[in-house]
Amino acid sequence: MTLSLAGAMPVLAQPDHRARERAILAELIEIDTGPTGKATTEAAEAMARHLVAAGLPADDVRVISVVPGIGNLVARYRGTGAGGRPILLMAHLDVVEALREDWSFAPFEFRERDGYYYGRGSSDNKAGIATLISTIIRYREEGFVPSRDLIIVLTGDEETSGDSIRLLLEQHRDLVDAEFALNTDAGGGELRDGRPIAFSVQTAEKVYLSFALEVRDDGGHSSVPGPSNAIYRLAAGLTRLAGFAFPVRLNETTRTFFDRAAEHQPADLARDMRALAREDDAAAASRLAAASPFYNATMRTTCVATGLSGGHAENALPQLARAVINCRMLPDDPAGEVEAALVRVLADPAITLSRIAPPVPSPASPLRADVVGPIEALVAEMWPGAVVVPEMSTGATDGAFTRNAGIPTYGVSAVFGALDDIRAHGRDERIGVEPYHRAAEFWYRLLKRLAS
Ligand SMILES: [Zn+2]
């Protein structure tokens, strides 16, 4: 720790833990864990070294590979056990590809500029890793012994298959089993005009399921077309699908979302959000769905055409027409019912439907008072005025697998930013310096409360 003098008053410079949070984030960004560098094992080993240096027994810090070439870290900070079963703390080591020519600077070089830390993974999700590792080191330095085990799991393939978390749960359940999980890779805070207004807790994810549609036909010479045509039949079915919407159905998470998110909205929108949340008002639901694709996706299952191909020659009748439909199902929508609805809407037995990959169910996690309560209290202290909003993601994370394995999972990155400045997966990815260190402070305080 360094001291500097401002007038006669000694002023503390940045505390040590802040410098450490920055250094670990920088170290992680400079290890290329994208599809080109593939250095997830190297990153896992680097984080393992920090934990062992801080005094965790080497046996409790394991670099494990369950998919060839993919490194994961599972580390256990032991507690007394008086506070109950462990808490699982999640983040991922891998990042989305970043090409030098697409960026304003080298994506795997850490840099600080204008109040931001830059680099691939800075926000997704290396800040989360650095936060977890720094927090454990800080506890060790203080001699803080939690009342329950804290287990860190860092996976190496969240951005692609998610196989590592799935296999860790299947093959090493004893190492990662927990009463509930907190995920740094979801949730977050919204800044509007620099003011914190909402703090999201991700408690559910929509379920991903794609279908291949096919129409086959005898074909023939295009100079003598008959009544049957594979492309027309498929196109007609897709047109019927375009006019269809799945029914509106709220769950605990989305109902609370609409009710609370109303707080910072213009009066008309706020009225509709509350009418939907409290009375399932159908007219309010249609207005909200029309106002925002995100609101629409939050209130119902969606299925949309994302691919189309057909025919084999300019001068031949098509023998095959294909389309891809991508569905994002509500967590409690059975895949069989969604498929049956599609068959009904396509309304043509010539259009065959097949699932491209099996869905991973992800039941919504309940808004448990022993988890959400401490989060709300801490948000009120650290970001007064920000409303805590449960969130159902329209995309998916490793949390789908932990929920599916019976571990309720809460996404609470706690990193605030402006909604129009989300650069995860994009170019010149960055995270605000203050929001990052503030999130680290939140995790330090939160875990203490949940494990004291
Ligand atoms: Zn992520």
Spatial CB neighbours of 124, under 8 Å, sequence gap ≥ 6: 95, 96, 185, 424, 425, 429
Residue at token pair 């298959």: 161
Task: Give pLDDT tens digits for 342-369.
Answer: 999 999 999 999 999 999 889 999 999 9
C-alpha 70/C-alpha 59 separation (Å) is: 20
Query: What is the Å distance from ligand 1's center to 36 Cα?
Result: 17
Amino acid at 435: P
Phi/psi of residue 185, each to 5°? -95, 15
For residues 368, 78, 94, 115, the Cα torsion angle rounded to the nearest 10 degrees is 80
169: CA distance to ligand 1 center in Å?
19
- What is the per-residue pLDDT across 408-433, written as a single tens digit (0 to 9) for each? 999 999 999 987 777 777 889 999 99
Whether pLDDT at 245 is above 60: yes
Q: Residue 127 C-alpha to ligand 1 middle, in angstroms?
A: 10
Average pLDDT score over residue span 115-122? 97
Q: So what's the pLDDT on residue 70?
A: 97
What are 172's two structure tokens?
């090493």
- Mean pLDDT over 165-188 rounds to 97
Arithmetic mean of pLDDT, 114-131: 97
- Considering only CA atoms, which of 28, 153, 33, 20 is closest in space to residue 86? 153
Q: With bands split at pLDDT 50, 70 and 90, how would you rate the model's confidence at 4? A: very low
Instruction: Say which amino acid occupies 131.
Output: T
**Residue 285: pLDDT over 90:** yes
Element (DSSP H or E) covering residue 428: none
Q: For residue 424, report the distance from its CA to the centre of ligand 1, in Å.
A: 8
CB neighbourhood size of 113 (10 A): 10
Distance 155 CA to ligand 1 centre (A): 10
CA of 159 to the centre of ligand 1 (A): 7
Distance 446 CA to ligand 1 centre (A): 21
Q: How far is the centre of ligand 1, averaged over its atoms, from the C-alpha of 5 (Å)? A: 41
Q: How far is the CA of 157 from the centre of ligand 1 (A)?
A: 10
Per-residue confidence (pLDDT) for residue 10, from 0 to 100: 46
Cα separation of 71 and 86, whole Å?
23
Residue 14: per-residue pLDDT:
56
Confidence of residue 436 (pLDDT cuts 50, 70, 90): very high
* Residue 419 Cα to ligand 1 middle (Å): 16
- Distance from Cα 445 to the centre of ligand 1, integer Å: 23
Does 7 have pLDDT greater than 70? Answer: no
Q: How far is CA 263 from the centre of its chain?
A: 24
**Chain segment 198-209, per-residue pLDDT in tens:** 999 999 999 999
Span 298-331, pLDDT tens digits: 999 999 999 999 999 999 999 999 999 999 999 9
What is the 95 CA–ligand 1 centroid distance (Å)? 8
Whether 404 contacts 204, CB under 8 Å: no
User: What is the distance in A from the centroid of ligand 1 to the CA of 297?
Assistant: 20
Q: Percent of the chain beyond pLDDT 90?
A: 91
Statement: residue 128 has pLDDT above 60: yes
- Position 5 confidence tier, pLDDT thresholds 50, 70, 90: very low
Question: Rounded to the nearest whole angstrom, what is the distance from the C-alpha of residue 96 to the centroid of ligand 1?
Answer: 9
How far does the centroid of ligand 1 lie from the alpha carbon of residue 184, in Å?
8
Cα torsion at 193, 294, 361, 409 (round to 10°)?
Answer: 20
Q: Is 273 exposed, middle or buried (0-12, 13-18, 19+ CB in 10 A)?
A: buried
Give pTM, 2 decimals. Answer: 0.88
The pLDDT confidence band at residue 395, using thresholds 50, 70 and 90, is: confident
Average pLDDT, the chain: 94
- Ligand 1 centre and the CA of 442: distance in Å? 19
Check pLDDT > 70 for residue 9. Answer: no
Ligand 1 centroid to residue 224 C-alpha, Å? 54
Centre of ligand 1 from the C-alpha of residue 348, in Å: 40
Distance in Å, CA 125 to ligand 1 centroid:
5
Q: How far is the CA of 218 from the centre of ligand 1 (A)?
A: 46
Q: How far is ligand 1, taken at its centre, from the CA of residue 82, in Å?
A: 33
DSSP reduced 3-state for 217: coil
The CA-based angle 351-299-190, given to 5 degrees, is 130
pLDDT digits (tens, 9 = 90+) for 365-389: 999 999 999 999 999 999 999 999 9
Distance 124 CA to ligand 1 centre (A): 5
Burial of 219 (0-12, 13-18, 19+ CB in 10 A): middle
Structure confidence by residue, pLDDT tens digits, 69-88? 999 999 999 999 999 999 99
Give distance in angstroms: CA of 123 to centre of ligand 1: 8
Q: Inform me whether the pLDDT recorded for 54 exceeds 70.
A: yes
Distance 63 CA to ligand 1 centre (A): 20
Interval between CA 17 and ligand 1 midpoint (Å): 24
Spacing, Cα 110 to ligand 1 middle (Å): 18
- Tell me how far the alpha carbon of residue 279 is from its chain's centroid: 30
Smallest CA-to-CA distance from 165 within 85, 237, 75, 72 is with 72
Residue in this structure with the two tokens 């949309």, named with its chain if needed: 304
**Domains in the chain and their CATH numbers?**
13-204+362-450 (3.40.630.10), 207-355 (3.30.70.360)
Residue 445, pLDDT > 50, answer: yes
The reported pLDDT for the residue numbered 13 is: 54
> 416-418 and 188-192 as β-strands: parallel, antiparallel, unpaired?
parallel
Q: Is the CB of residue 132 less than 8 Å from the CB of residue 91?
A: yes
For residues 216, 217, 218, 221, the Cα torsion angle rounded to the nearest 10 degrees is -120
Indicate the pLDDT class of residue 108, thresholds 50, 70 and 90: very high
Beta-carbon neighbour count of residue 55 at 10 Å? 12
